């Protein structure tokens, strides 16, 4: 009987976790295609500022810190699509969780980060910023 309760508890927890997840992780090719389909969507680079200055996705906005991310989203409706990426797919999950906590429901994360993006030779904005 005790094992049945534990199993039910674990299944309930897993289903609640899946329902609460409002972000979607996609491959570099899918991410690129989705950006093309949503040209007015917010694209957020959550890498450190120095990396953003060297290269980034076209039209991306920097948000290296939580406060930067919150500031960027102040004028973005909760139903809008927000794209998140970093270098190696480490920083997007925490950023997505912040956005979910703020009520955003359409978050798309770049699986594999810019490492994956470059592997497919997808376009980058490499104009150096000061």
Parse the chain into domains and list their residue ranges: 22-119
What is the C-alpha to C-alpha distance for residues 84 and 94, in angstroms, rounded to an integer? 10
Question: How sure is the predictor about 5, in pLDDT bands with cuts at 50, 70 and 90?
Answer: very low
Q: What is the pLDDT of residues 19-49, one digit of tens each?
A: 445 689 999 999 999 999 999 999 999 999 9
What is the C-alpha to C-alpha distance for residues 57 and 81, in angstroms, rounded to an integer? 16
Q: What is the pLDDT of residues 98-127, one digit of tens each?
A: 999 999 999 999 999 999 999 999 999 999
Which of 64-75 are b and which e, b meaning 16 or more Cβ less than 10 Å from the residue's Cβ?
Answer: beeebbeebbee
What is the C-alpha to C-alpha distance for residues 31 and 128, in angstroms, rounded to an integer? 23
State the greatest distance between any 2 C-alpha atoms of the chain, in Å, as a whole number. Answer: 64
The CATH number of domain 22-119, selected from 3.40.250.10, 3.40.50.300, 3.30.43.10, 3.40.50.2300: 3.40.250.10
């Amino acid at each position: 009987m005790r094992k049945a309760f534990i199993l039910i508890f674990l299944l309930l927890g897993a289903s609640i976790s899946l329902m609460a997840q409002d972000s979607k992780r996609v491959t570099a090719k899918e991410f690129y295609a989705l950006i093309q389909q949503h040209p007015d969507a917010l694209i957020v680079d959550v890498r450190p500022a120095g990396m953003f200055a060297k290269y980034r996705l076209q039209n991306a906005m920097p948000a290296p810190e939580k406060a930067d991310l919150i500031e960027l989203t102040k004028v973005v409706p909760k139903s809008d699509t927000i794209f998140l990426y970093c270098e190696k797919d480490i920083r997007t999950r925490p950023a997505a969780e912040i956005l979910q906590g703020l009520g955003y429901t359409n978050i798309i994360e770049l699986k594999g980060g810019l490492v994956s993006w470059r592997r497919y030779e997808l376009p980058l904005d490499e104009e150096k910023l000061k």
